[in-house]
Structure 1
Amino acid sequence: MKSRASSFPCLFIGFLATLLVNTLLLHHSYKEFEDDYQHKADLLFNSTHDMLLQHKIILNALRSLFSASAIVTKEEFNIFSEELLKIKSAVAFTLDDDHRVKYISDPDFQSEILAGKVQVGSDGKLEYLMDGFSSLIVNIDEPNMPFLVYAISHQRVQQRLEQHKGICAQLTIGETYFTNEYCHNEDANWLTSFFKYQGSDSASLPEYKKKYSISAWSIAPAGRTYELCLLVLFITAMVMSLSVLLSLKMRNHMRFTQLAIETRSKFALLSSINHEIRTPINAVLGYSQMLKDSDYCDVSGRDTLDKIIWSANLLNSVAENTLNFSKAEAGHLSLDYRDINFFDELNAINDYYNAFSQTHDKRLVMRIQADMTEYISLDSTKFFQLTTNFINNAFKYSSGKEVVFDISLKSVAGQDFVRVAVKDTGKGMSAESMKAITHPFNTDPDSSSISQSGIGIGLYTCKKVIEEVGGHIRIRSRVNKGTLVLFRFPYRQISSKVSDSEIQASNHDGSSQSQVGNVINLHKVSDRNTGQESNRFSVVAANLRLNTEKHIPGVAHSTPANLSHITKARYADVSLLLVDDNRFNLEVCSSILETGGFKVSSFQDEDEAFDAFKTSTPQIVVMDYRLAKTDGISLIGEMRLLQTENVHYFILSANDKSEIANADVYPDISFLQKPLNLEVFMQLLDLKVKLA
């Protein structure tokens, strides 16, 4: 509704612009046509006045001839009047007292003159009637010839009027009416009649008691009128089209703005929901790990805690997938490349499914390219999420004992990719189920409710994420033969070989998503069960050395219990201020940090924490990003203004660093993701102390 209201001014302005332009155009054209008519009318009026004035002068000259001489002979009259009147197609002759013709200026008109007759007009004056002539009788001073008749040829007058083109000329002399051919113009219609112009003029000969009048009218040429109408229609269509397009653009802009606002709101909502979900998950993971590491938990209890940790990690992965799906839908998803030991990442994935294999009659068989590069730059978090999503589906639907996980490095069109293949031996996917990769919320209506689960966005989510970051995915499935998922995920090569410690240090500025831990060597062995792959891949399953305390990207783990006593002693009695508005996370983090030897002061209220900072400046500050009254970065900014010695600051949040606004603006603040991994924290602290 708002977009419609905002587009209305565009339409209104377009209407006004169209009206203004067309009005100016019509006014200009009307004046142009009027000027053309006025020019022609002036020529007509002036020409007619000149013609009648010339006849008046000739008539006066003839009268003067008779007045100047006592007796005018016929020869004198003929000589004087013949050449004078011939060019005007007029004739003059005299009448005696009996109204008989005496002298004739031009004998060629004798027959027409003799055919005429004299009569008394309505005004009591004499008139001489001649076909094709208009005559005027005047008295002259001549014995036996008291009357002089001056006759004007109608043909000559008509020819004079026909010389005026493009205008209707209507001349009235006495009772005689003349019109030219244009007056019978048949081109006039309702359209051209809008451009009709007319005018009139009149004059009189008082000495001869004669009057004449002339009127004229003209219409705009039909061709030019049609051109004007087409131009008006074109301007109307063009301006209104532009206004409509502008209004649509404004409406679309408003919609896009609204969509952008809604998208940002959705991101904020999802980020908040993920934060709220991950916060209790982190507490569950922390308390579970604390129980598992305690002396009060037996073997059976540890197995139960492993299942709790497994389920919590799955729930955390669902939250991550939902956020990534929303980012991919809006085109805001990007890769966070980090230098990693790729073998460690693969070892972590295998470790992730080790606990699952212990409680289920299925195992993951990992095949790794024999000559694969050990160190690459990769967004390990998203790679882990995508890979585990497909492996989870394979474990869920596979009817066999094994799920094959095949990894290799490829280069396609100059772009480096990690090629992943996940193969199961389940019942396969139906054609209807395959649509889920391109159509979200699509499920197979023919499958039973027992075998069908979810709402149908898993495959679609993975496809959107993979394609958004520049990868590619294909799925091959046959009924009762299983399903093969192939996807390519971008990576970057590292120019020079780096050590694991350097990789760990470079990744410590992010969060607990970075890869940490000791170097894990993958044993290269031949796959005796699959001879065709023996030269290319090494099968690592039972032969892969596992580290149960190793951090897995995208999955929450706690602190390794075997942290060295030397490390603990190095930071013994170091003052640390811990701030978190969630009491459970505060207890978990405080317990973990105390196992590292730190002297921890924990606060749930940020005001109390700030007062404690002012009283005795701690050496280390670890605080949550989202606090009840402010955010962690703002509170750190206030603490910096009061610090009197060097303080190491850490942000510990359930959110990833990419979800924290302007995180990159604060390079001296280290960002960690809950739950707290003490090994990551110690390594990062060592790096900060070394740089200081």
Structure 2
Amino acid sequence: MTFCPAYGKAICSLCCSLDVRCADQCRPHATISQQAHDFFTRFVSEKVLKMLTTPLTQFIALTLVLSLISATILFLVYLQVPLEDEQVKQVFANTLIKTFFLLIIIIGIISWLFILARDGNQNALKELRSQTKALAKEVDAHETTSSALQNAKEIAESANQAKSRYLAALSHELRTPLNVLLGYAQLLLRDQALPPKQQETIAIIRRNGQHLADLIESLLEISKIEAGRVTLQRDEFNLKAILQQLVDMFQMQASKKGIKFNYISSPNLPDYVATDKQRFRQILINLISNAIKFTEQGSVTFKVTYRSEVASFSVIDTGAGIALDDQEIIFKPFEQIRHSQSQSTGGTGLGLTISRSLAELMGGEITLNSQLGKGSTFNFRLMLFKLHKDPKEPELTKSEAIGYDGPIQSILVVDDNLNQRELMADLLSPIGFNILLAEDAEQGYQQLQQQKVDLILMDVQMPNINGWQMVKTLREQHFHMPILMLSANARDAEYNQQAEGYHDGYIAKPLNLDALLGKIAQLLDLQWQYKRTDNQLEDKQTQDHKPNLGTEQYEALIAMAEIGYLSGFKHKFDEIKDEYCYPAGSESQIIEYVEVCNFPKIIEYLNELNDGS
């Protein structure tokens, strides 16, 4: 191995001998041509030497040399032939002379072709070497550019990470007090003793606080998408129920604005599908809310079709429309198209940006068709895998929970912020929970040693020992109660893989009370007791006058279940319900078994009820 000036690096001897592009740069004076040039310059000048090395001179010299060799060979042939007759000898000599002149013609042609080929090869080699040098310079320039680009990319990524860290830290500082504000606003709104005027004021506070929380979430969402840290979940849920919830929500919003809201659903829409439920709802909410927001009169139509496991969601409005030049601008961050009809419309310009980015991450797409003065149509296409069974996701209710069935459950709240701990106590104590408070991991360990705890609500960011470390330690110490992580830092959800298998759920602040209660009910397997409305009280009074089911009624239902007569069982079940009162909680349980046609469970459950009656 030795250094090669042509490549600028070490090269082996075999590669050196096979190389054709270097022109012996490592030994410029050792080539035959260079040595010949040095030899002849001792006798003639450079000018004469150049004249002697022109293609014409080389042709003449080569022709003369080959002609001389041919003449010598023919002369030797003439001398070697013994001829006694002078006349024959003269004829033979003339023949050789004619042959010589014929050879001169052939030698001239071959010599000229040889000189042309040699000159062409030299020119091609020079051109090759010139192109190689130019290519080497271009490669060096590309390497320099690539290095500069890599440095710029690293600087940009570092700046982007710094921006993400700043946004995350800012989000944590904003979410912490915002969680307290929105939490107590939810509690006050449930206080029927407050005058309507004060409830309306608190509702305004909650709406604006929620708007601020949504703005923070949007900024973080954009930051996570740009950094490529968005992770999708595979949730199994009831598609029709989710769509109906959205329709109910936006029909009320459209009605308040004085426009019509139409919902058109495909008849072959599946009941249960699998995708990221939160992102899916977020995209549809952004599209529909924008349509209602920018439609002053007319209607908004939400159309859903499903074919070959591909769902198409179309949001059609009769608003002002969007010009062709602006149809890509509205998908950029913080961009909004302002006109006379939308000057008073608020917003950050992030909804469509987030929606399109999330749709692409989920393998779907969002397209737009719009004409000025005729309205817009946003089309959202996504593959939704059809499920053939009920995933049994926990249902959340908007009714106010006032308690739960069963013994008193103890909940340990571990949070370093006093206001957060007090908020959790004020939220959960009235429902019947025994609330234990700890300001750090050490106090949490002490509470666990002293009392029985059924559920832990744990903050992630705490001094000394954070939530992830504490939950891992608890599992290692064989504490098996459910643990629900709470954090004002939305980025913590991305890093919960470090505690995978240790915690049982994650909720970001600010907390929604209904979502929190739904998660607690799921983890503790609770049945809530809800505050009854006037209609529910009337139904309860009617139920109180009905007799309880007897053995005869149970046996009639069991007989239908034993033969697998589904329609007959449903008919008998409704018939008995009109005249008799089922035990508390049994009606919903029987309906649940009927929906999945689990007749063995129905028979077993009815026998248990019959034996206990």
Q: Name the TM-score class by shorter chain.
A: 0.5 to 0.7
Contact 1:432 1:443 in 2 (8 A): no
Contact 2:294 2:342 in 1 (8 A): no
Inter-CA distance 304–35: structure 2 relative to 1 (3 Å threshold): closer
Can you list the C-alpha shifts for 1:564-614, whole angstroms capped at 9, x where unaligned?
Answer: 3x1xx33x1x44321123333322222233244332221334444345445
Inter-CA distance 418–312: structure 2 relative to 1 (3 Å threshold): farther
Contact 1:578 1:622 in 2 (8 A): yes
Structure 2 residue 401 is the aligned partner of structure 1 residue 548? no
The residue number in structure 2 matching 1:163 is none
Inter-CA distance 368–184: structure 2 relative to 1 (3 Å threshold): closer
The DSSP-based 3-state class of the residue aligned with 1:26 is coil
Inter-CA distance 19–224: structure 2 relative to 1 (3 Å threshold): farther
TM (normalized to structure 1)? Answer: 0.55
Specify every segment of 5 or more residues in structure 2 that has no aligned partner in the other structure, as ranges: 54-117, 527-613
Which of 272, 275, 292 is the matching residue for 2:189? Answer: 292
Contact 1:15 1:240 in 2 (8 A): no
For residues 499 and 640 of structure 1, the distance between their equivalents in structure 2, rounded to whole angstroms, comes to: 28
Structure 2 residue 481 is the aligned partner of structure 1 residue 631? no
The residue number in structure 1 matching 2:77 is none
For residues 445 and 292 of structure 1, the distance between their equivalents in structure 2, rounded to whole angstroms, comes to: 36
For residues 493 and 369 of structure 2, the distance between their equivalents in structure 1, rounded to whole angstroms, comes to: 35
The residue number in structure 1 matching 2:216 is 319
Contact 1:378 1:491 in 2 (8 A): yes
The DSSP-based 3-state class of the residue aligned with 2:193 is coil
Which of 642, 659, 678 is the matching residue for 2:517? Answer: 678
Higher helix content, 1 or 2: 2
Inter-CA distance 182–471: structure 2 relative to 1 (3 Å threshold): closer
Inter-CA distance 231–300: structure 2 relative to 1 (3 Å threshold): same
The DSSP-based 3-state class of the residue aligned with 2:327 is helix
The DSSP-based 3-state class of the residue aligned with 1:319 is helix
Structure 2 residue 461 is the aligned partner of structure 1 residue 597? no
Inter-CA distance 384–14: structure 2 relative to 1 (3 Å threshold): farther
**Alignment root-mean-square deviation, CA:** 4.2
The aligned amino acid for 1:459 is: L
For residues 24 and 614 of structure 1, the distance between their equivalents in structure 2, rounded to whole angstroms, comes to: 84
- In the TM superposition, residue 37 of structure 1 has moved relative to its aligned partner by 4.0
For residues 392 and 253 of structure 1, the distance between their equivalents in structure 2, rounded to whole angstroms, comes to: 42
The residue number in structure 1 matching 2:330 is 437
Can you list the C-alpha shifts for 1:164-185, whole angstroms capped at 9, x where unaligned?
Answer: xxx4786xxxxxxxx9x99943
Counterpart mapping for 1:338-357 below 5 A: 338-353=235-250, 356=253
Contact 1:342 1:376 in 2 (8 A): yes
Inter-CA distance 183–655: structure 2 relative to 1 (3 Å threshold): closer
Contact 2:368 2:379 in 1 (8 A): yes
Which of 434, 446, 456 is the matching residue for 1:621? Answer: 456
Which of 292, 295, 320 is the matching residue for 1:395? Answer: 292
Counterpart mapping for 1:60-71 below 5 A: none
Task: Give the number of equivalent residue pairs.
Answer: 446
The DSSP-based 3-state class of the residue aligned with 1:322 is helix
The DSSP-based 3-state class of the residue aligned with 1:31 is coil
Which of 481, 501, 526 is the matching residue for 2:374? Answer: 481
The residue number in structure 2 matching 1:666 is 500
The 10-residue stretch of structure 1 (589-598 or 340-349) with the greater mean CA deviation from structure 2: 589-598
Higher strand content, 1 or 2: 1
The 10-residue stretch of structure 1 (459-468 or 282-291) with the greater mean CA deviation from structure 2: 459-468
For residues 324 and 307 of structure 1, the distance between their equivalents in structure 2, rounded to whole angstroms, comes to: 25
Which of 115, 138, 141 is the matching residue for 1:241? Answer: 138
Can you list the C-alpha shifts for 1:26-60, whole angstroms capped at 9, x where unaligned?
Answer: 3424112389549x97xxxxxxxxxxxxxxxxxxx
Contact 1:364 1:404 in 2 (8 A): yes
Specify every segment of 5 or more residues in structure 1 that has no aligned partner in the other structure, as ranges: 1-12, 42-166, 171-178, 190-220, 505-515, 518-546, 550-559, 688-692
The residue number in structure 1 matching 2:24 is 25
- In the TM superposition, residue 652 of structure 1 has moved relative to its aligned partner by 1.8
Inter-CA distance 324–33: structure 2 relative to 1 (3 Å threshold): same
Counterpart mapping for 1:167-186 below 5 A: 167=40, 184-186=48-50
Can you list the C-alpha shifts for 1:256-275, whole angstroms capped at 9, x where unaligned?
Answer: 33333333333333333444
The residue number in structure 2 matching 1:69 is none
For residues 237 and 373 of structure 1, the distance between their equivalents in structure 2, rounded to whole angstroms, comes to: 63
Contact 2:483 2:503 in 1 (8 A): yes
Which of 161, 169, 179 is the matching residue for 1:272? Answer: 169
- In the TM superposition, residue 485 of structure 1 has moved relative to its aligned partner by 2.0
The aligned amino acid for 2:504 is: S
- In the TM superposition, residue 563 of structure 1 has moved relative to its aligned partner by 4.3
The residue number in structure 2 matching 1:652 is 486
The residue number in structure 2 matching 1:561 is 401
The DSSP-based 3-state class of the residue aligned with 1:186 is helix
Contact 1:441 1:456 in 2 (8 A): yes
Contact 2:236 2:391 in 1 (8 A): no
The DSSP-based 3-state class of the residue aligned with 1:622 is strand
Counterpart mapping for 1:214-613 below 5 A: 233-234=130-131, 236-353=133-250, 356=253, 360-362=257-259, 364-400=261-297, 402-411=299-308, 416-444=309-337, 447=340, 450-451=343-344, 453-454=346-347, 456-494=349-387, 496-500=388-392, 503-504=393-394, 516-517=395-396, 548-549=398-399, 560-564=400-404, 566=405, 569-570=406-407, 572=408, 574-613=409-448
The residue number in structure 2 matching 1:145 is none
- In the TM superposition, residue 242 of structure 1 has moved relative to its aligned partner by 3.0
Contact 2:324 2:370 in 1 (8 A): no
The 10-residue stretch of structure 1 (13-22 or 451-460) with the greater mean CA deviation from structure 2: 13-22
Contact 2:250 2:289 in 1 (8 A): no
Inter-CA distance 483–671: structure 2 relative to 1 (3 Å threshold): same
The aligned amino acid for 1:478 is: Q
Contact 2:231 2:494 in 1 (8 A): no
Contact 1:328 1:468 in 2 (8 A): no
The residue number in structure 2 matching 1:534 is none
For residues 660 and 646 of structure 1, the distance between their equivalents in structure 2, rounded to whole angstroms, comes to: 24
The DSSP-based 3-state class of the residue aligned with 1:392 is helix
Contact 1:398 1:425 in 2 (8 A): yes
- In the TM superposition, residue 236 of structure 1 has moved relative to its aligned partner by 3.9
The residue number in structure 1 matching 2:100 is none
- In the TM superposition, residue 418 of structure 1 has moved relative to its aligned partner by 2.9
Counterpart mapping for 1:81-96 below 5 A: none
For residues 359 and 452 of structure 1, the distance between their equivalents in structure 2, rounded to whole angstroms, comes to: 16
Inter-CA distance 310–491: structure 2 relative to 1 (3 Å threshold): farther
Contact 1:404 1:422 in 2 (8 A): yes
Contact 2:175 2:488 in 1 (8 A): yes
For residues 598 and 390 of structure 1, the distance between their equivalents in structure 2, rounded to whole angstroms, comes to: 40
For residues 365 and 563 of structure 1, the distance between their equivalents in structure 2, rounded to whole angstroms, comes to: 38
- In the TM superposition, residue 302 of structure 1 has moved relative to its aligned partner by 4.0
Inter-CA distance 470–343: structure 2 relative to 1 (3 Å threshold): same
Counterpart mapping for 1:73-88 below 5 A: none
Contact 1:418 1:490 in 2 (8 A): yes
For residues 562 and 452 of structure 1, the distance between their equivalents in structure 2, rounded to whole angstroms, comes to: 39
For residues 222 and 524 of structure 2, the distance between their equivalents in structure 1, rounded to whole angstroms, comes to: 34
Contact 2:402 2:430 in 1 (8 A): no
For residues 5 and 351 of structure 2, the distance between their equivalents in structure 1, rounded to whole angstroms, comes to: 49
The aligned amino acid for 1:185 is: L
Contact 2:272 2:391 in 1 (8 A): no
The aligned amino acid for 1:498 is: D
Counterpart mapping for 1:136-175 below 5 A: 167=40
The aligned amino acid for 1:561 is: A
TM (normalized to structure 2)? Answer: 0.62
Contact 2:29 2:35 in 1 (8 A): no
The aligned amino acid for 1:663 is: Q
- In the TM superposition, residue 376 of structure 1 has moved relative to its aligned partner by 0.8
For residues 252 and 209 of structure 2, the distance between their equivalents in structure 1, rounded to whole angstroms, comes to: 14
**Identity of matched residues, %:** 22
The DSSP-based 3-state class of the residue aligned with 1:419 is strand
- In the TM superposition, residue 339 of structure 1 has moved relative to its aligned partner by 0.3
The residue number in structure 1 matching 2:557 is none
Contact 2:5 2:25 in 1 (8 A): no
